[in-house]
Amino acid sequence: MASRLLTVPAALLLSLTALSSLAADGTPLGWVERGLILPEQVTVKFKLDTGALTSSMHAEDVDYFEKDGDKWVRFDLDLKDVEHDKLVKSRIERKLQRELTVRGAGGKEDRPVVLMKVCVGDRLLEEEFSLRDRDEMNYPVLLGRRTLEKLGPVDSARTFTIEPNCSELANR
């Protein structure tokens, strides 16, 4: 009986933690939200994809190189900022976390995975993103389940339920 009593408060605590990322009106996040890529401060549409495990971000001209004995990647982040209606171009370098093999209808593809900081609502996250040219996709950033588990529930009937607001956190 005592073990049962301990699990209820733990479950309640976990559910309250997930609720911190609900939209301002108390509803879950939508399947598309505006998010912020840092430190570039570019606002783009993020697709919250429960069918993907790993998050993915648009990247062009990916080059591998070595730095201090570690593998790194350098890539172009060329995105249209939907908040300011301007093109943001950056050349970014990140340490390679791992290689990801993606299998799909078109065959298999190896992608580099790097850590990137993003803001969704009031949550500043540093997450793994596979890099891929997403020019032909509607959404330059896709958030997979590993990231979504930190954000809480997703309502597939809603979009744009929350605005990115991490400016104070991003400067730390």
Residue 15 banded pLDDT, cuts 50, 70, 90 = very low
**Pick from 151, 35, 135, 130: nearest CA to 82:** 35
Least confident stretch, 12-16, 122-126, 149-153: 12-16
**Pick from 70, 46, 59, 61: nearest CA to 125:** 46
How would you classify the pairing of strands 86-104 and 107-120?
antiparallel
Residue 17 banded pLDDT, cuts 50, 70, 90 = very low
Phi, psi torsion values for 17, nearest 5 degrees = -65, -45
pLDDT tens track for 49-102: 999 999 999 999 999 999 999 999 999 999 999 998 999 999 999 999 999 998
pLDDT tens track for 22-35: 555 567 999 999 99
Residue 6 banded pLDDT, cuts 50, 70, 90 = very low
112, 73 contact by CB (below 8 A): yes
19, 36, 106, 138 from 79: Cα distances, Å: 30, 11, 25, 12
**pTM of the prediction?**
0.82
Share of the chain above pLDDT 90, in %: 72
d(CA 108, CA 157): 31
Domain count of the chain?
1
CATH of the domain at 56: 2.40.70.10
Would you state the pLDDT for residue 26?
Answer: 63
Domain that holds residue 137: 2-170
13, 145 contact by CB (below 8 A): no
d(CA 89, CA 79): 7
Would you state the pLDDT for residue 25?
Answer: 56
